[in-house]
Amino acid sequence: MKKSTQILIVFLILLGFSCGPESSETIDYTALSDEERLTIAQELARNTIMVDGHVDLPYRMKVGGFTLQREILDVSERTEGGNFDYPRSKEGGLDAPFMSIYIPARYQEMGGAKALADSLILMTKRLADTWPDKFGMAYSPEDIQANFEAGKISLPMGMENGAPIGDDLDNLAYFHERGIRYITLTHGKDNLIGDSSYDTTYIHGGLSEFGVEVVKEMNRLGIMVDISHVSDDTFYDVMEVSQVPVIASHSSARHFTPGFERNMGDEMIQRLAENGGVIMINFGGSFVDQDFREGNDAVREHIVNWLAENQLSRNDPEAQEYISEYVAANNPFPSVQKVADHFDHIMAMVGIDHLGFGSDFDGVGDTLPTGLKDVSMYPNLIAELLKRGYSKEDIEKVCYKNLFRVWQAVEEYAANAG
């Protein structure tokens, strides 16, 4: 096909987008070329609100030396390293990354979890205060809509690990007032709320008695319950307790990673869907590809030994070149297609209404798939989904409608709970 003909076809398709869903839905995206689909995906990403359930920018800022007095990491401009900044978000069509207020499990033992959460919340709000033309805080779907119309990237917040709650239910209202709109109940270890998928002690056998009250209070206040990171028993307990749909903010399908409890099993996904919830797919290589997961451990061990033998750090140019070549040769990164496989598997089981994006950008290191290395690359995944027969309406549901539905249901329940 001549280039001029391709351009005409794409123009007509884009005209269909602007004329409403009726005209665009008549298009057979599977019949287009890869180039045409990518152009459509880019346009769709730019014109559709896109929510990502989990981006670890706040902790990346902390590790990078960000303070409230001095901005070390200027994400209003393109940054070196990391997966998120404003220019790349605009390129990829990302409008509302949930900022992860991540609390490492060690703070449960050493103390300071609540203070760390407060500092990360302040850092996030500082972004909106420092660059109000580019970023805006968001505490509801309506806030995200308003920011989208103003051309701003929304910064909703979710707290990863319920440890800052301590043993005091009143802290839930405190963090809701601070802007937290979901809480991932656990992280790497069991806590006072319940058992973690990464721990082996299973001290509660699921939710603790206190954890049951936490879930009820989150329902009452209008905080979404996030079951990423919890053990299977904790998940099923949450399903029994919660009166509203829940989310998995950054999990994938265990079908592709047998034995990896951090991902969700098929029965769990079906139960989540019965509850009306949403699983937001994690892009990390170890979450989407069992071969990569198994090979990654061996590669990491080799690289650590090689760096020690050569007295180099990962930041040395020589080391970076070696690591890149060694990984490519010994454990190639997964592809965008591998991520799309998770969407297909879940779609076949429970339908499109229970899927979303939960990349875990800035939280999974250098394991991201080829073609999904940062927030500029969502259109690559959207194009792959279009290639597999997903419709424009399907993409809109994945981008924001499914999550908005859950969020609004949680808000409505809280409003009626008084």
Percentage with pLDDT > 90 across the chain = 80
Say whether pLDDT at 69 is over 80. Answer: no
**Given pLDDT bands bounded at 50, 70 and 90, which one contains residue 188?**
very high
pLDDT exceeds 90 at position 141: yes
Across the range 212-234, mean pLDDT stands at 98
Question: If you average pLDDT over residues 203-218, what whole number do you get?
Answer: 97
Q: Bigger pLDDT: 206 or 5? A: 206
- Quote the pLDDT of residue 21: 46
Distance between CA 120 and CA 97 in Å, rounded?
15
CB 380 within 8 A of CB 194: no
- Give the integer Cα–Cα distance in Å for 260 and 286: 9
Q: What is the mean pLDDT of residues 66-75?
A: 63
Among 60-69, 103-112, 143-152, 280-289, the minimum mean pLDDT is found in: 60-69
* pLDDT level of residue 36 (50, 70, 90 thresholds): very high
pLDDT of residue 71: 54
pLDDT at 64 (0 to 100): 73
The confidence score (pLDDT) of residue 15 equals 47
Residues 31-50: what's their mean pLDDT?
97
Where do the domains of the chain lie, and which CATH numbers do they carry? 50-289+334-417 (3.20.20.140)
User: How much is the pTM?
Assistant: 0.90
Residues forming a β-bridge with 356 = 280
Tens-place pLDDT, residues 264-311? 999 999 999 999 999 999 999 999 999 998 888 888 889 999 999 999
Q: Is the pLDDT of residue 8 over 70?
A: no
Q: Give pLDDT, residue 206.
A: 97
Return d(Cα 354, Cα 413) in angstroms, integer. 19
* pLDDT for res 314: 85
Band of the pLDDT at 14, cuts 50, 70, 90? low
pLDDT band, residue 22 (cuts 50/70/90): very low
For residues 249-261, average pLDDT: 97
Quick one: pLDDT at residue 5? 45
What lies within 8 Å, CB to CB, of 282 at 6+ separation is 54, 228, 250, 251, 252, 263, 288, 358, 359, 360, 364
Q: What average pLDDT does the chain have?
A: 92
Segment among 67-81, 93-107, 340-354, 389-403 with least mean pLDDT: 67-81
- 8 Å CB contact between 137 and 179: yes
Q: Sorting pLDDT into bands at 50, 70 and 90, what band is 70?
A: low
